[in-house]
């Protein structure tokens, strides 16, 4: 797009200010985490431009990156950038910033279905997705019937969040293998060898690389 992108590491709040003051006229947009936008907006002494801080960051240059449809910027929805086109879905009026995953997908060779392992991958990143109060779409009996009928193994990659989240004991599929938290390459490799992908349904799961962290 003809722009130079700079990224600041933690603590991004302080580093963003330092970089901005080096060449403020060249900076057109700043993408920050939602909490950072509010933190800077409220800091009239050291961050946002004000009478007390004339070299600060103009708040209208700061856009909050938020995956979901709710507004997460002091200026509201138009300053909240999301990777899904929520306005067309009737879920809010965030500014749509599209993304592409073709490049990362091409890094994983396609495996013909006839050569894949006899396994089912359950899309559930957290153990709590199997807890009854989260309304899972499938029960252990459903998965047991599926494996008995097909002979397919069940795998998933889920973190155990039940203790810190206060969820009940999850009702996991019988004879499953939990691979734990996977990196993106590991997840794509496991998925590429799988014959069937099943989502837990509620909460709704989308196959999207949603864990972005855009900071200037």
Domain boundaries defined on the chain: 12-98, 107-199
Q: Is the pLDDT of residue 64 over 90?
A: yes
Q: Is the pLDDT of residue 67 over 90?
A: no
Give me the percent of the chain exceeding a pLDDT of 90: 53
d(CA 22, CA 171): 55
Report whether pLDDT(148) > 50.
Answer: yes
Can you say whether the dihedral through the CA atoms of 158, 162, 163, 164 is positive or negative?
Answer: positive
**Poorest-confidence range of 52-56, 139-143, 164-168?**
164-168
- The mean predicted confidence, pLDDT, of the chain is 86
For the chain, the straight-line distance linking the first and the last C-alpha, in angstroms and rounded, comes to 16
pLDDT surpassing 50 at residue 213: no
Q: Is 194 helix (H, G, I), strand (E, B) or coil?
A: coil
CA–CA separation, 50 vs 183, rounded Å?
43
Q: Which residue from 84, 76, 96, 89 is spatially nearest to 34, judged by alpha carbons? A: 76
Does the pLDDT value for residue 177 go beyond 50? yes
* pLDDT for position 202: 55
Contact yes or no for 4/216 (Cβ under 8 A): no
Q: What is the predicted pLDDT for the residue at 215?
A: 33
The pLDDT confidence band at residue 119, using thresholds 50, 70 and 90, is: very high
pLDDT recorded at residue 8 = 85
Residue 209 is predicted with a pLDDT of 38
pLDDT at position 205: 43
> Which pLDDT does position 7 carry in this prediction?
86
Which region among 28-42, 100-114, 196-210 has the lowest average model confidence (pLDDT)? 196-210
């Amino acid at each position: 797009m003809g722009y130079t992108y700079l990224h600041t590491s933690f603590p991004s709040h302080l580093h963003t200010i330092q970089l901005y003051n080096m060449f403020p006229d060249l900076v057109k947009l700043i993408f920050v985490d939602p909490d950072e936008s509010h933190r800077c907006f409220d800091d009239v002494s050291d961050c946002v431009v004000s009478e007390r801080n004339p070299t600060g960051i103009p708040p209208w240059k700061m856009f909050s990156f938020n995956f979901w449809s709710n507004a997460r910027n002091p200026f509201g929805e138009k300053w909240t950038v999301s990777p899904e086109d929520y306005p067309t879905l009737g879920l809010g009026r965030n500014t749509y910033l599209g993304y592409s995953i073709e490049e990362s997908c091409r890094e994983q060779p396609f495996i013909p279905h006839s050569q894949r392992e006899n396994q089912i991958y359950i899309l559930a990143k957290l153990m709590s997705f199997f807890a009854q109060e989260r309304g899972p779409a499938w029960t252990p009996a459903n998965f047991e019937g599926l494996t008995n009928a097909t002979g397919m193994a069940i795998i998933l990659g889920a973190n155990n969040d039940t203790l810190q989240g206060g969820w009940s004991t999850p009702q996991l599929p019988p004879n499953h293998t939990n691979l734990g938290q996977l990196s993106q390459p590991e997840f794509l490799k496991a998925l590429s060898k799988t014959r069937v992908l099943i989502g837990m349904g509620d909460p709704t799961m989308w196959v999207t690389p949603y864990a972005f962290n855009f900071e200037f």
